[in-house]
Structure 1
Amino acid sequence: MRIYDSDRQEWVGPERERAVALLHDRDAGRQRAALRGTVAVLAVCGLAFGTWALGWKDEPGPTGYLTQRQPEQRTGSDGAAGGTDATGTEDAARPSPDGGPPSGYESVLDAEGFRTAVPRGWSRGQQDTRSGTAIDIVNYRSSDGSRRLQVYEVSEPSPMASLQVFLDDTQVPKSAGFEQLSLTSPAAPRPAARLAYRTDRITDEPEIGVWHVVDHRFEAQDGKIYAIAAYGAEADGTQDERELVATALEWFCPPLTYCPEPGGAEGGGGTGGDRT
């Protein structure tokens, strides 16, 4: 009797049937052996992957490193009264709870393009320096004229070089009552220099007795050199001038520069808004 081999699509006799059966048995044996080999290989690979994954998961993460800023070295009689770093945070007035400027201060975006913080209600004035710098001298004054905050850009190549020019009497004449109190280079990410002095007279300013001045010059985020100077009566102490400079410096942002505001989200959150 013949049967139909569906695999080969033909009719076969008994002898052919037995041969086909033998071939089927041989092929089935090979397939089972191949299947067992495949399963063994997959098992070994799975074990190896599991061992690697567990070991990788237990590896320690990357280590972070923090650098601590060294405290500023201050000299002179004015420096002994209180320390401050480059941003003036030790002398700055305490920020408001909402992250904005300290109580009594407001953030201002000046017409010259920079941002800073000044005492609320102070009036603004401007001097045309004709020096070729990007911004002119800007003055913020108290209502009685006894206190002043001055902001401007300087043309010298460094903060200390700028103050050295100011201290040179042949270039900047001083009154007879001028006395240097301290000259420091605050530790900072960018170059900075600070001069404190007293003087008995300042041109175009009221006669209030001895003036105390803190003149801070620094390299800002845009790479240019600026000055923030505070003026007030020495009779009421020297802390108020240091606080005025420190707060204005902390909130300072040069023209056309992005600066997050201190204390809020992404360092911002005050009234002046981020600058771009």
Structure 2
Amino acid sequence: MTNTNFEPQILRDRYRIQRQLGRNASRRTLLAQDLHTQELVVLKILIFNSDFRWDDLKLFEREAETLKSLCHAAIPRYQDYFELNLPKCRGFVLVQTYIDATSLQDWIKQGRTFSELEVKQIAKALLNVLTYLHSRNPPAIHRDIKPSNILLTSDRTAHQVGNLYLVDFGSVQTTVKKTGTITIVGTYGYMPPEQFSGRAFEASDLYSLGATLIYLVTGTHPADLLQEDLQIQFEDVTHLSASFIQWLKQITHPNRLQRFSSAQLALQAL
């Protein structure tokens, strides 16, 4: 089942598979056409195979429920959720809107560079998204902000970097206690220290955003940069203003209590 090929099937008599967008372990991400609306959509599929864990289903269901409750122009919209029951494949499918844009990771790999002004525009756009997510009750903490989960359109101009989108809510946490969450998720290099012990807070998303911005200004994965007392050392390999360097150092401070206390405050300081 790990080599399940969905092409060119039609799922639920509605979604015609176009191509695979991504895969890992028990998950597949597919591009499909909604035959009811003729629009392109993304199908995220959780497959019951040898790699499946029950925690995967818990996170997958939480992602679907969270997307269903969100309404923001920079976040994919929930479309559908259903059980998959094919002869050689069983699982669940989450359908969301397709965004025609390229990830920040792929832009960097293609050789694109970003000016300080553009990086600040990216920061402001994403801080607005985080302000929306963190202001919900309970707060929605993304927990996996990184270049591959941020999409940027190609309509760059002299004054505007393009439109940005935050995607992949597969690690989202919506039940937060005073001690933080207790599930270890995230991506090495972009995770703050507290996430390694299974805790995540609003300030954890800020750290991950900061690490992502450092990747944009250096072109280097944060894990490959030097660290001093767990603080990412990036200033010697960039040409940024002193004020922006200080802002990046604060948002990526290893101690969450030394970071900005909210996305809104980080936005105001920028």
Larger radius of gyration: 1
* Structure with more relative contact order (C-alpha pairs < 8 Å, separation 6 or more): 1
- TM-score per shorter chain, which class? under 0.3
Normalized per residue, the structure richer in helix is 2
